[in-house]
Amino acid sequence: MPIDNSINNRTFEELFSNPISFEIPFFQRAYSWERQQWKQLIDDVWEQILPDVIEQIVNDNATDKNTMEKLEKHLLEHEHYFGAIVVLEKTNSLPALKSFSVIDGQQRITTIYLLIAIVVDLLKEKADLDESSQNYINTLEGYIKNGINPQGDDYRKLKVYSNKGDRYPTYLKIFKENPESPSLPIDMQLYVKEYNQIDAFWNYALKKLKSYSVIALFAFSQAILKSLKIVWIPLDEKRDNPQAIFEGLNDKGMPLSAIELLCSYLFKPLIDDVTKQHESIHNDKWLKSIKKVGGENEYEFYLRNLFSINKPKMIGKGRKLYANFKNTNKKLSKQTAFDTINEIADNIDLFNQIVKPQDPSCKHSNKEINSILIKIERTDMYSSIPFILAILREQKAGNLNDADTIAILNSLLVLLVRRKACELKTQKYDVFFPSLLSKIINEPDKAKAFKDQISKEDLWVSNQEFEDAFVNKSLYKQTELEFVRLVLQEIDKKMQSHGQLPDYSSINTIEHVMPQTLDDEWKLYLGAEASDLNLERIKNSIGNLCLISRAANSFVGQDPFEKKKNSYTDVSALTRDLKGRAVKWNMQEIKRRSKDLADKALGIWSW
């Protein structure tokens, strides 16, 4: 039956009977249903549509005409509502192929399409077991393959056609070979089998259905084709806004992510169904950027930081990112969209230099800058990223020289270390850092201008505050181990003689000289101090910490101080320092050592 433009109840048999293309547009997400949705659908078919008839038809002769008529009648009497499919008819260069954009219902239509293909695959595996298999295969393949001349693009043989990287694995699963298509090279680059939901669903459904007989599989396919009812809703392009309808409908289902909404909004002015240029931009710029940064969650974090530069405050998470961009660009032109996508792609490497500075593929070309970025990353102070990203962007553009870049980043490192050691609040960071560079970029002494801004915003940390924190606060926190290692390593470097540094990757275990949990011998050793209310804080202060190897940490355990001291090696300057300490290791001696190490820290992180 030809598909008309009226709202009506339809079956997937009607949708897939003729040569047709259901195209997933750019403002749709990739296929994203998961095990919960897959299981519910397959179980519903077996338990709600087929339970009264499946045993009978399996036991009957599979080729018996009456059996098939019973099945058909049963399916017509057991309709199952399966949601809506909202579409917009498209112009198409292939006269034999009717084409629709799927505005809502992509997950449903893709899942049913793949299920039919999976049943075909299983029937082919079981062809030798039942002579009816080939007839069933011939029937079902007409629902998954367009028998047309694709005119240079084999993807048009697919009845469900995605632009989001799903078309390649879908084609592979159905046709068992690579398509001839101008899109193939980029599709193969973007395809990662381990993370693709098409592959995940295919494997799940194959496992779920493989034990069923030939006739049961055919009955299952007929149930999803004939009994699952959808509401067919065609839109009028002149009257309806497909994207707005899409956003509204999906808010009732699986909510769209900020990245999906932003992609939709950015690409809307670029879509050209004739040149298809938007596809190459989407693949080469957008999808590659997501892959380069490490996934959609990391991509959202990157865009929040990039778009926050020169803003009054850091842009919020999730939908706030999309809302902020949309409000800033209410009338998005083609040129602005293109420039924004290029800006996003061009700054990915700079962002990776900040968040992954130890990754060999992400290192900054200037070794000193990279070294500072590594230390800043270890402070875990991500609120400063918009500022750092703005610095690196200006340096790359030639507006900041290396000396100024190093001076500003060093001052930032001092600020972050001092405030973190002092356990000072960070609420101001979200409004301080995004626009900070614009306030200092034109000053002759940029490091001084940075410090002036710190003082102005009451973020300055004095030497006395810094020293007091080292002596009186707990440096060690289980959630801040990288920061603790950074502080200990930098102090250890300062204490090393002749500039010869050990391999800190081999001595990166944080050792508590006085153990975190005291045994009876240590309690007896400490006497009244063992029950002092301040002992826990003192134990976790810098005076009680050093760096040793993991093996050495396990070896010394809860040994008494004298035994530990003799077991420590001379590789670390911090352990050498302990060997010269007093015989008695108590709260007073820990405070004394904290004060000595604080003096070293003041020299390292100095204004």
**Is 80 exceeded by the pLDDT of residue 165?**
no
**Is 60 exceeded by the pLDDT of residue 251?**
no
- Sheet strand arrangement including 80-90: 8-11, 228-234, 80-90, 98-104, 20-24, 160-162
Query: Residue 152's pLDDT is what?
Result: 86
Per-residue pLDDT, averaged over 353-381, amounts to 96
DSSP strand pairing (8-11 vs 228-234): antiparallel
Q: Are residues 313 and 423 in the same domain?
A: yes
Interval 199-219: pLDDT, tens: 999 999 999 999 998 888 999
Cα angle value 143/146/152 (rounded, 5°)? 155
d(CA 576, CA 554): 19
Q: Are residues 244 and 293 in the same domain?
A: no
Query: Residue 408's pLDDT is what?
Result: 96
3-state secondary structure of 273: coil
Q: Are residues 65 and 184 in the same domain?
A: yes
Supply the DSSP symbol for 145. B
Strand stretches in 209-351, DSSP E: 228-234
Per-residue pLDDT, averaged over 83-101, amounts to 84
Amino acid of residue 341: I
140 pLDDT band, cuts 50/70/90, is: very high
Query: Residue 22's pLDDT is what?
Result: 94
Structure token digits, residue 229: 């009812």
β partners of residue 399: none
d(CA 544, CA 472): 12
Q: Are residues 96 and 235 in the same domain?
A: yes
In a domain, 261, yes or no: no
Last residue of a domain, one of 464, 485, 511: 464
Core vs surface per residue 547-584: b (16+ CB within 10 A) or e: bbbeebeeebebbebeebbeebeebbbbbbbbeebeee
Burial class (CB in 10 A: 0-12, 13-18, 19+), 404: buried
141 pLDDT band, cuts 50/70/90, is: very high
The torsion angles phi and psi of 520, rounded to 5 degrees, stand at: -60, -35
Closest CA to 536 of 474, 469, 468, 467: 474
In a domain, 266, yes or no: no
Closest CA to 83 of 253, 223, 206, 202: 253
Q: Are residues 441 and 542 in the same domain?
A: no
Q: Are residues 349 and 238 in the same domain?
A: no
Structure token digits, residue 154: 């084999």
On average, the pLDDT of the chain sits at: 89
**Could you tell me the residue range of the domain that residue 570 belongs to?**
475-604
In a domain, 267, yes or no: no
In a domain, 260, yes or no: no
Q: pLDDT > 70: what percent of the chain?
A: 92
**Is 50 exceeded by the pLDDT of residue 75?**
yes
Amino acid of residue 63: T
Strand stretches in 391-544, DSSP E: 509-512
In a domain, 270, yes or no: no
Q: Are residues 104 and 230 in the same domain?
A: yes
Q: Are residues 432 and 503 in the same domain?
A: no
**Is 60 exceeded by the pLDDT of residue 252?**
no
Q: Are residues 485 and 570 in the same domain?
A: yes
For residue 556, CA distances in Å to 104, 273, 518, 563 come to: 63, 70, 14, 8
Q: Are residues 457 and 548 in the same domain?
A: no
- The model scores a pTM over 0.95: no
Q: Are residues 98 and 241 in the same domain?
A: yes
Interval 452-511: pLDDT, tens: 999 999 999 999 999 999 889 999 999 999 999 999 999 999 999 776 888 998 999 999
**Domain count of the chain?**
3
**Is 50 exceeded by the pLDDT of residue 130?**
yes
29 vs 424, residue with greater confidence: 424
Last residue of a domain, one of 440, 464, 488: 464
In a domain, 2, yes or no: no
57 pLDDT band, cuts 50/70/90, is: low
Q: Are residues 133 and 39 in the same domain?
A: yes
Last residue of a domain, one of 409, 438, 464: 464
In a domain, 161, yes or no: yes
